[in-house]
Structure 1
Amino acid sequence: MVAQHVEPVGDTEKEILDSLLQGTGVTVNGFNDWDPRFYSAEVVNRVLAKGNLGLGEAYMDRLWDVPKLDEFFYRLLKGGVDTRIKPVKLFWHATRFKLLNLETVKKAKRIGEFHYDLGNSFYQAMLDKYMAYSCGYWKDADSLEQAQEAKLDLICQKIGLERGMRVLDIGCGWGSFMRYAAEKYGVECVGLTVSSEQVKLGRELCKGLPVEFRLKDYRKETEKFDRIVSVGMCEHVGRKNYRTYMKQASCCLKEDGLFLLHTIGKRIRSSVPDPFIAKYIFPVGQVPALEWLTQAAEGLFVLEDLHNFGADYDKTLMAWNERFEAAWPQFKDELGDRFYRMWRYYLLSCAGAFRARDLQLWQIVFSKKGASGGYCSCR
């Protein structure tokens, strides 16, 4: 952290901050690693006007800093600070997500262009060898590679993969699941993504395997499969499209098949997408509430299993950040300091949110009409 002059907080701002931070153990210009240093009194006004968006942009502008950003957010969220700030300027942000369908077929392409087409070399430096850009399973793992392989194998076991099966991966990314499943379980896989960069690298990584990448929106698929997985895709579907998403999965799944949905989930149904993440990271992203998913699946699927290992996302994000920091010298000239602070803020604020259990990670297994003889899960 670069040494800068710490600007004293005025009496009015101090009173506001003391009220907001009560019970969190966080002190502005304090001496703990989670205590932020303010270099401008403007930070307070930005937070009151725009909430986390204002705080994040002030961080990107180097108006404040903190030694441990993840611990700072963990304490804020554990203390309920997010429920005390209701910025008027974010009224339209909340309204548009409630009223508009921001994840139409046309708009869905933005996520590929804006986020996933950032550059394959960037993600290769941050992720594991399988390029899994979702939560790892750390139950018996000591490294990111082990955690991601354990997650991929857990999925394969939960859906009962057998050699010769044909599997659809909705939102396949660079093909991490398909590559693992084809190598270890001898299945054929078809993956859907809206990112041309993912298709390009994914085909290279899966060369020689019975894996097919389709640059296609999930709403356009018509083939039927023995099994379906969707890992880290549901966060881009949008509440107004969950029923369509479930109908599409049902149409593409054979009658005796299983569908595994791996998604981030939120604890409070009424909360709106984080404004910082929505502006800078995932422009049309929306974390689902469990009720929205079960309602969307009504009459289409039987929920066979629900597994929450959200605390593991904290470890995953911290591992990604460690790799990002180590690789940053090769990207800094191209991407610049503002991007560095934006990306760091994204990874570490999310780590703090999962550590506080403000966000969850669910793996849900669905069958079409109930698994014959009952479903036996694994952990």
Structure 2
Amino acid sequence: MADAASRLTALAEELLGEPLPVRIRAWDGSESGPPGAPALVIRRRRALRRLLWKPGELGLARAWVAGEIDVDGNLYEALDHLADLLWDRDADAKAKASPHPVRDPKVRSFVRGLVGLAGPWPPPAPPAEEVRRRTGAIHTKRRDKKAISHHYDVGNDFYELVLGPSMVYSCAYWDEGSTLEEAQRDKLDLVCRKLALKEGDRLLDVGCGWGSMAIHAAREYGARVTGVTLSAEQAAYARKRIAEEGLTDRIEIRVQDYRDVRDGPYDAISSIGMAEHVGSVRYREYADDLYALLRPGGRLLNHQIARRPERDEDAYRIDEFIDAYVFPDGELAPVGRTTATLEEAGFEVRDVEAIREHYALTLRRWVANLEKHWERAVRATSPGRARVWRLYMAASALSFEHNKIGVNQILVVRPEENGAVRMPLRSREWTAAAGD
């Protein structure tokens, strides 16, 4: 077992057919790889058993969450180097990067080498933070509530450390020199201006989170807001903030599924970072429900992460790590499919703004907050949960930067009864700063 790092490096380079771009530091204290590169630290050899049992992303994720592997050095640089293992969905690259018993002699040699290093079987159980395998229909109300609770009910104290005072868990809208709080305020204001909110308007905020959008719309624009969330912890936190702001007469927060909202019509609807939870099998229902809740002439602002289209859409697979540890049952769709479904429901699409680069900046700030407050964050939730969020947010930042995923604000309008839609001739003037 001496010099495990060199043996692992040799095995990986034989499989890949090129030098390993990171250093390996193994459980026996040995180290191998290019000088100055970030180090992949394998603290426990049972991490290799996880990889053998679940080749590819899920095995790596389990070892990361359990604290059996880590990165010493720049996390973004390390993830960039290992991107083929973590993100590349191309079948050839996936087969090249993922050890499994096929006829390829390089893969067979790699597997035999790992077996020799991994130690006695069986592999350890998955970390407690992993969602257990689910069966039955997806995106039922009961199952969606459990999925939302898994992601959001991990402690408001934890989210305060990561998100900062704004308590906004979606892409901010940046300008040169902005702080995170300023960029989140500007995003909320941009949404309000796109919705053309004015004093007394009824706004439905779908997936209202910790109440930031509702508070901004009521305080700055005089709107009367109904916010709905499936997270009891979010709702309690939002109600407390609203009371402190003296806005209880203007804002109601409900623990309610958007499919159960029946008190329309609303003048405007905001859906910010919520539609990713809806799922492809329910997206037309989502669009139909929001259409029915809007008055004729009312506007919906749908702020949603999008993925790149696949050449073979039937072959699209949900990310294993995200599904098991972050967003159970979450799905991303190409922006074209989203706009088409909204149009099929009867909406007219009036504006699509792509703000992909803004989410990369936002995620890097959240990662910096988490790393700055690491010990407090671990105490607020669990070591495994903190590791999940660090990996998820850093990898997502790189995905946005490399245009693997994007985020778009889609503004749609419910036409008047005669089919008309009345909008300003220069509606894009909302991109100017408020008061300009």
Q: TM-score range by the shorter chain?
A: 0.7 to 0.9
Q: Is the 8 A contact 1:125 1:323 kept in 2?
A: yes
Counterpart pick for 2:56 among 46, 51, 59: 51
Aligned residues: 366
- Cα–Cα, structure 1 residues 333 and 200, in superposed 2: closer, same or farther, change >3 Å? closer
Counterpart pick for 2:305 among 264, 273, 283: 264
Q: 2:251 & 2:176 partners in 1: Cα distance?
A: 29
Q: Name which structure has the greater RCO, CA cutoff 8 Å, separation 6+.
A: 1
Q: 2:142 & 2:205 partners in 1: Cα distance?
A: 20
Counterpart pick for 1:279 among 324, 347, 365: 324
Q: Which 5+ residue runs of structure 2 have no aligned equivalent?
A: 25-32, 101-132, 432-436
Q: How does 1:1-150 map to 2 (within 5 A)?
A: 6=5, 8-9=7-8, 11-18=10-17, 29-34=33-38, 36-38=40-42, 40=45, 43=48, 46=51, 49-60=54-65, 61-77=67-83, 81-83=88-90, 84-85=93-94, 101-150=137-186
User: Is 1:355 the equivalent of 2:401?
Assistant: yes
Q: 1:338 & 1:237 partners in 2: Cα distance?
A: 26
In the TM superposition, residue 153 of structure 1 has moved relative to its aligned partner by 0.8
- Cα–Cα, structure 1 residues 268 and 46, in superposed 2: closer, same or farther, change >3 Å? farther
Q: How does 1:217-366 map to 2 (within 5 A)?
A: 217-222=257-262, 223-269=264-310, 270=313, 271-299=316-344, 300-333=346-379, 335-366=381-412
In the TM superposition, residue 268 of structure 1 has moved relative to its aligned partner by 2.8
- Output the TM-score relative to the length of structure 2: 0.76
In the TM superposition, residue 252 of structure 1 has moved relative to its aligned partner by 0.4
- Cα–Cα, structure 1 residues 260 and 100, in superposed 2: closer, same or farther, change >3 Å? farther
| Structure 1 vs Structure 2 CA RMSD | 3.0
User: Is 1:372 the equivalent of 2:422?
Assistant: yes
Percent identity reads 30
In the TM superposition, residue 334 of structure 1 has moved relative to its aligned partner by 5.7
In the TM superposition, residue 156 of structure 1 has moved relative to its aligned partner by 0.9
Equivalent in the alignment of 2:124: none
Equivalent in the alignment of 1:151: 187
Equivalent in the alignment of 1:160: 196
In the TM superposition, residue 328 of structure 1 has moved relative to its aligned partner by 2.5
- Cα–Cα, structure 1 residues 338 and 212, in superposed 2: closer, same or farther, change >3 Å? same
- Cα–Cα, structure 1 residues 63 and 260, in superposed 2: closer, same or farther, change >3 Å? same
| Bigger shift: residues 287-296 or 146-155 | 287-296
Q: Is the 8 A contact 2:203 2:266 kept in 1?
A: yes
Q: 2:411 & 2:177 partners in 1: Cα distance?
A: 23
Question: 1:311-355 CA distances to partner (integer Å, 9 max, x unpaired)?
Answer: 111111111111122223224346443333222111111111112
Q: Is the 8 A contact 1:101 1:238 kept in 2?
A: no
Q: Is the 8 A contact 1:169 1:178 kept in 2?
A: yes
Q: Is the 8 A contact 1:48 1:85 kept in 2?
A: no
- 1:85 match: secondary structure: helix
In the TM superposition, residue 38 of structure 1 has moved relative to its aligned partner by 5.0
Question: 1:166-206 CA distances to partner (integer Å, 9 max, x unpaired)?
Answer: 10011111111111111111111101100000110100111
Q: Which 5+ residue runs of structure 1 have no aligned equivalent?
A: 90-95
In the TM superposition, residue 35 of structure 1 has moved relative to its aligned partner by 5.7
| Bigger shift: residues 264-273 or 42-51 | 42-51
In the TM superposition, residue 57 of structure 1 has moved relative to its aligned partner by 1.9
Q: Is the 8 A contact 2:161 2:377 kept in 1?
A: no
Q: How does 1:184-195 map to 2 (within 5 A)?
A: 184-195=220-231
Q: 1:363 & 1:6 partners in 2: Cα distance?
A: 47
- Output the TM-score relative to the length of structure 1: 0.86
In the TM superposition, residue 52 of structure 1 has moved relative to its aligned partner by 2.1
Question: 1:351-378 CA distances to partner (integer Å, 9 max, x unpaired)?
Answer: 1111212110110000122632557124
